[in-house]
């Protein structure tokens, strides 16, 4: 599998060179991690306000689905730039998939475990319980926590939304503070105890943008232009939240996403907060070496990877 991935990514890079010769490198297909929502607002703003166009780019959004992830789109060659979490990216690089981080929006971790019942007051109370987790992935830190604390959790996969949690079919769920947790609150459930992964030594930043190493080498100017325009979009979104929500809601309606403006407003507020370094209002929009080192060490210690992945490697400096 690793060999096929590497061969494909190499050929994808060659395709990029051919495209450049014929003046097609300005067209970029971008796939975020999920369907339209405020988690990706800055990119939608950059498109709507013409920031990508100002950089000489024609950007096409190609959202993933439950059956075809952002990574699938990159491997198939249908997308040039995708959204991934840092843990995912380091795991893939360690597995032999050459990726380069071109922009890091998240600076803090949003993961949490939300108990359905108030008698779960500590991690120890989760021992042997049924806990929901995404079928699509994003599970590495949850599994690490389970193994290290010897909780013997029974993981119950879900695709989307919090139906299993609300119905009481599970004892708790893994959630993101800007997404599933907000859905739970919107259902009128007010958990008395929640467990943030960052409080247990797992404060690993999440969302970033990635390209293949070959695409980065052959399209570096276009990639840098995309990153610049995206940062401009995020800064505009932070300064104009209501207009940003107008843009997000137009896409939500277009793609028939089950949500509402208030939910997206709360998501936007939390996502913008997570872009700031802890205890500051600074948004650096870049990967920090210490975050890469910590994430790599966690994955290495838990057996997900078998060699360290360095900051130089993931940022294309090697």
Q: What are the pLDDT tens digits along the chain (318 aa)?
A: 455 455 444 444 444 444 443 445 489 999 999 999 999 999 999 999 999 999 999 999 999 987 788 989 998 889 999 999 999 999 999 999 999 999 999 999 999 999 999 999 999 999 999 999 998 778 999 999 999 999 999 999 988 779 999 999 999 999 999 999 999 999 999 999 999 999 999 999 999 999 999 999 999 999 999 999 999 999 999 999 999 999 999 999 999 999 999 999 999 999 999 999 999 999 999 999 999 999 999 999 999 999 999 999 999 987
Q: Which domains does the chain have, with CATH numbers?
A: 2-106+205-314 (3.40.190.10), 111-200 (3.40.190.10)
Sign, CA dihedral 101-31-179-92, equals negative
Residue 310: closest CA among 97, 296, 301: 296
What Rg, from alpha-carbon coordinates, does the chain have? 19
Tokens of 216: 């980065």
**Do 72 and 288 meet the contact criterion of CB atoms below 8 Å apart?**
no
**Do 95 and 305 meet the contact criterion of CB atoms below 8 Å apart?**
yes
Long-range (24+ apart) CB contacts under 8 A made by 312-315 are 313/93, 314/89, 314/90, 314/93, 314/99, 314/100, 314/101, 314/287, 315/100, 315/101, 315/287
How many angstroms separate the CA atoms of 83 and 30, rounded?
8
**Do 202 and 113 meet the contact criterion of CB atoms below 8 Å apart?**
no
Residue 194: closest CA among 172, 226, 163: 172
């Amino acid at each position: 599998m690793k060999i096929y991935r590497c061969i494909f990514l190499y050929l994808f890079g060659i395709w990029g060179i051919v495209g450049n010769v014929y003046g097609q490198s300005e067209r970029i297909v971008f796939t975020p991690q999920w369907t339209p929502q405020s988690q990706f607002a800055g990119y939608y703003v950059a498109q709507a306000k013409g920031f990508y166009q100002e950089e000489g780019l024609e950007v096409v959004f190609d959202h993933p689905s439950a059956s075809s992830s952002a990574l699938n789109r990159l491997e198939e060659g249908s997308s040039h730039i995708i959204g991934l979490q840092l843990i995912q990216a380091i795991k893939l690089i360690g597995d032999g998939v050459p990726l380069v981080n071109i922009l890091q929006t998240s600076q803090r971790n949003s993961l949490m475990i939300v108990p359905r019942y108030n008698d779960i007051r500590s991690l120890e109370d989760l021992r042997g319980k049924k806990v929901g987790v995404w079928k699509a992935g994003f599970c590495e830190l949850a599994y690490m926590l389970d193994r290290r604390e010897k909780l013997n959790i029974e993981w119950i996969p879900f695709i989307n939304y919090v139906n299993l949690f609300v119905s009481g079919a599970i004892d708790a769920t893994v959630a993101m503070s800007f997404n599933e947790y907000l859905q739970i609150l919107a259902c009128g459930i007010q958990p008395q105890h929640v467990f943030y992964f960052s409080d247990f030594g797992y404060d690993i930043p999440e969302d970033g943008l990635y390209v293949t190493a070959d695409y980065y080498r052959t399209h570096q100017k276009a990639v840098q232009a995309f990153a610049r325009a995206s940062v401009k979009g995020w800064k505009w979104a932070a300064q104009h939240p209501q207009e940003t929500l107008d843009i997000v809601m137009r896409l939500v309606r277009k793609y028939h996403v089950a949500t509402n403006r208030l939910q997206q407003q709360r998501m936007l507020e939390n996502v913008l907060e997570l872009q700031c370094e802890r205890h500051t209002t600074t948004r650096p929009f870049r990967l920090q070496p210490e975050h890469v080192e910590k994430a790599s060490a966690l994955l290495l210690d838990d057996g997900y990877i078998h060699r360290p992945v360095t900051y130089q490697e993931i940022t294309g400096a090697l």
